[in-house]
A and B are shown apart, each in its own frame.
Chain A
Amino acid sequence: MVFLIQKTLIFAIPLLIVALAGMFAERSGIINIALDGIMIFGAFIGAVFALNIRKIPWFVDHNQLTFLLAMLVAMLAGAVFSLLLSFSAIKLKADQTIGGTALNLLAPAISLFLIKVFTGQDMLEMQTVRNSAGEVKDFGFVLLNDNLGPIGRVLFDKAYISTFIAIALFIILSIFMYKTKTGLRLRACGEHPQAADSVGINVEKMRYLGTTISGALGGLGGYIYIATVANGTATGAVAGMGFLAIAIMIFGNWNPIGIAFGSLLFGFLKCLGVVYSNLDINGDGVYALTKLNLPMYFYNMVPYVVVLIVLAFSAGKSRAPKAEGIPYDKGQR
Chain B
Amino acid sequence: MSKKTTPKKNIFDNAGARSAFASLIAILGGFLVGFIVLVLLALFNENIDFFDAVDGFFRILAGPFSAGNKDNILFQLGNMLFNSTPLLLTGLSVAIAFKTGLFNIGAPGQYLMGAMGTLIVAHSIPTTVVPPAIVWIIALLTGILCGAIWGAIPGFFKGVLGVNEVIVCIMTNWIAANIVSWVFKDSVFINVAETKMNFIKKTSANGVSTATFGLDKFFSGSSQYSRSYMDISIFIAIIIAIVIFIILNKTTFGYELKACGYNKNASKYAGMNEKRNIILSMAIAGGLAACGAALWVLNGNQDFKWEVYQSLPSDGFNGIPVALLANSNPIGVVFSSIFLRYINVGGSNLAAQTDFNEYVSQLIIAIIIYFAGFSRYIQEAMIRLRAGRKNKEKEGK
Chain A residues in the interface with B (C-beta under 8 A): 84, 88, 92-95, 97-99, 101-103, 105-106, 108-110, 112-113, 116-117, 237, 239-240, 243-244, 246-247, 250-251, 295, 297-298, 300-301, 304-305, 307-308, 311-312, 315-316, 318, 320
CB neighbours (8 Å) of A243 from chain B are: 105, 170
Please name the residue on chain B nearest to A91 by beta carbon.
B377
Please name the residue on chain B nearest to A98 by beta carbon.
B373
Q: Closest CB-CB distance, B65 to chain A, in whole Å?
A: 23
Partner of A297, one of B170, B179, B375: B179
List 7 other contacts, CB 8 Å, given A88-B373, A95-B376. Answer: A101-B321, A102-B370, A105-B366, A243-B170, A297-B185, A301-B174, A320-B164
Contact across chains for B324 and A98 when beta carbons are under 8 A apart: yes
Contact across chains for B170 and A247 when beta carbons are under 8 A apart: yes
Given contacts A106-B367, A240-B312, contact A311 B167 (CB under 8 A): yes
User: Considering only CB atoms and an 8 Å cut-off, how many residues of chain B contact the other chain?
Assistant: 47
Per the bound structure, the CA–CA distance linking A116 and B361 in Å amounts to 14
Binary interface profile of B, 15-44, with partner A (CB < 8 Å = 1, else 0)? 000000000000000000000010001000
Contact across chains for B367 and A246 when beta carbons are under 8 A apart: no
Q: Closest CB-CB distance, B137 to chain A, in whole Å?
A: 31
Please name the residue on chain A nearest to B364 by beta carbon.
A109
Contact across chains for A301 and B178 when beta carbons are under 8 A apart: yes
Taking the complex as formed, is B157 at the interface, i.e. its CB lies under 8 A from any CB of chain A?
yes
Contact across chains for B161 and A250 when beta carbons are under 8 A apart: no
Partner of A312, one of B45, B163, B362, B366: B163
CB neighbours (8 Å) of B373 from chain A are: 88, 92, 94-95, 98-99, 102
| 21 chain-A/chain-B pairs, Cβ below 8 angstroms | A94-B374, A97-B103, A97-B324, A98-B324, A101-B320, A102-B321, A105-B366, A106-B370, A109-B363, A109-B366, A243-B105, A247-B171, A251-B167, A297-B181, A297-B185, A301-B178, A304-B175, A312-B157, A312-B161, A312-B163, A316-B161
Partner of B163, one of A94, A102, A297, A315: A315
CB neighbours (8 Å) of A105 from chain B are: 321, 362, 365-366, 369
Contact across chains for B170 and A295 when beta carbons are under 8 A apart: no
Contact across chains for A101 and B324 when beta carbons are under 8 A apart: yes
Given contacts A295-B185, A297-B178, contact A108 B167 (CB under 8 A): no
Q: Closest CB-CB distance, A79 to chain B, in whole Å?
A: 18
Given contacts A92-B377, A97-B324, A247-B167, contact A103 B359 (CB under 8 A): no
CB neighbours (8 Å) of B312 from chain A are: 240
Contact across chains for A304 and B363 when beta carbons are under 8 A apart: no
